[in-house]
Amino acid sequence: MSRYEAVIGLEVHAQLKTRSKLFCACSTGFGEAPNTNTCPVCAGMPGALPVVNKRAVEFGVKLAQALDCRVKDNSVFARKNYFYPDLPKGYQISQYEHPLAEEGRLEVPVNGDNQEVRIIRIHMEDDAGKSIHGAENTSYVDLNRTGVPLLEIVSGPDIYSPDQAVAYLKALRNILIYLDICQGSMQEGNFRCDANVSVRPRGRPEYGTRTEVKNMNSFRFVHKALSYEIDRQIDLLEDGEEVVQETLLFDEASGETRSMRGKEEAHDYRYFPDPDLVPLTIPERERQKWARELPELPLSRWRRFIRDYALSEELADTLTGDRSLADYFERAAACFDEPRTVANWMTSEMLRELNERDISAAQSPFAPEQLAELLGLVRQEKISTKIAKQIFPEVFAHGLDPESFVQEKGYVQITDESRLEEVVREVLAENPDEVASYKQGKKKLMSFFMGQVMKKTKGQANPKLVDQLLRSGLEG
């Protein structure tokens, strides 16, 4: 393996979160009855005229700006001709010679290092419909998705391992989500990826023959498919055979790639500029406005979290890896001045609750201010950390005010010394054998006595105070 180097380039199709389609006013709504979101334009009726969706252009330009691309003065929509039953126009409207933007870059964090991957181009295109294959050799076509806006983002051949490929995809997806322009779900197909893969003997400047791998609908499958394909190509070269240029489908069940079509069957799409659409020109004023609207991007937020909140790289990773989690954290940290405590709680207790419900932090029933309040109760020693963790699922689920909850339920920590003294006396009296062993030097029994006191007080005794009282009871 180490004698060879893999070279990977990725093509991502990101479905934009616009309300209407790229060239008509039909809804992009998902999961509606088949063929209800259609009109003469997206159904490909002769004479229907497309009109570009301005919001989709805005989203495309914003992504281009976030990836340091050069937005072209003029980009041109072209017809990409091919026949497919779910493509009623007989061509897809895409951009070919003159894409929306070119020559950008994305910094990808890999094992604590940032590696730059070039972005070759970003172009806009419309999606095809969907064929549904039913029983008895019947097929149906649903055109609801036809004409939904996509951005295709093409990376340079700057990725050298499956790990880096996944890191690149995660970083890109995160930017799309930060910009709020794509839902970024591979499972639902609104963030899709194809990979060009080749291998070459390490140190050789020329690229090997590449294959294109399709149909990878999770990060795990991307990793699996690329690992499989790299090994397959290395085996061929080792055996003195040649890699054949072809398109491969990843088969999730077998974990293998298999041939879909060879080079000789490769499409000739006969691109030409769409005569119904004028070249796309984006006025300087709009570009500047959109640039001002860009949010802080994940990498700079990650750096700021480490610098300003003194978080570990790992905590900053988890928080900034999800925009809504990072937003939640900043609101909570504004109310509670121990950011690391907030971050630790969020990445353990809170993330567990969010994951169980499969919701984002933005949908959390428990507000950031409430989390700050709960942590405040622990700091003021009104409740122990143990109690805080114990009550968290309940206050979280119902968005309860932590302070009134612990008052009502009687969870407030017992700091009354005479009451605790009584409990300690009881515990020592009930366990004479353990007391004797302790006095003979088995100091580890301290945690046993602590446990007994906590049991009798339902975990509400102030541990520091109990510790003091136990020591004086046992050693005095």
Residue with tokens 């070039």: 118
Nearest to Zn ion of 6, 24 (CB atom): 24
Distance in Å, CB of 32 to Zn ion, minimum: 13
Paired residues of 461 in beta bridges:
414
The DSSP call for residue 82 is -
- φ and ψ at residue 11, rounded to 5 degrees: -115, 120
Distance in Å, CB of 20 to Zn ion, minimum: 8
Cα dihedral sign, 97-99-104-110: negative
- φ and ψ at residue 423, rounded to 5 degrees: -65, -45
Distance in Å, CB of 46 to Zn ion, minimum: 15
Distance in Å, CB of 36 to Zn ion, minimum: 11
How far apart (Å, rounded) are the C-alpha atoms in residues 435 and 27? Answer: 75
Nearest to Zn ion of 26, 128 (CB atom): 26
How far apart (Å, rounded) are the C-alpha atoms in residues 278 and 52? Answer: 10
Tokens of 361: 């932090």
Distance in Å, CB of 146 to Zn ion, minimum: 8
Nearest to Zn ion of 42, 445 (CB atom): 42
- H-state helical runs in 191-277: 219-238
Nearest to Zn ion of 42, 465 (CB atom): 42
Nearest to Zn ion of 42, 175 (CB atom): 42
Environment class of 112 (CB within 10 Å of its CB; exposed 0-12, middle 13-18, buried 19+): exposed
Nearest to Zn ion of 77, 168 (CB atom): 77
- φ and ψ at residue 10, rounded to 5 degrees: -120, 140
Distance in Å, CB of 21 to Zn ion, minimum: 5
Site residues for Zn ion per CB under 5 A:
24, 26, 39, 41-42
How far apart (Å, rounded) are the C-alpha atoms in residues 24 and 149? Answer: 10
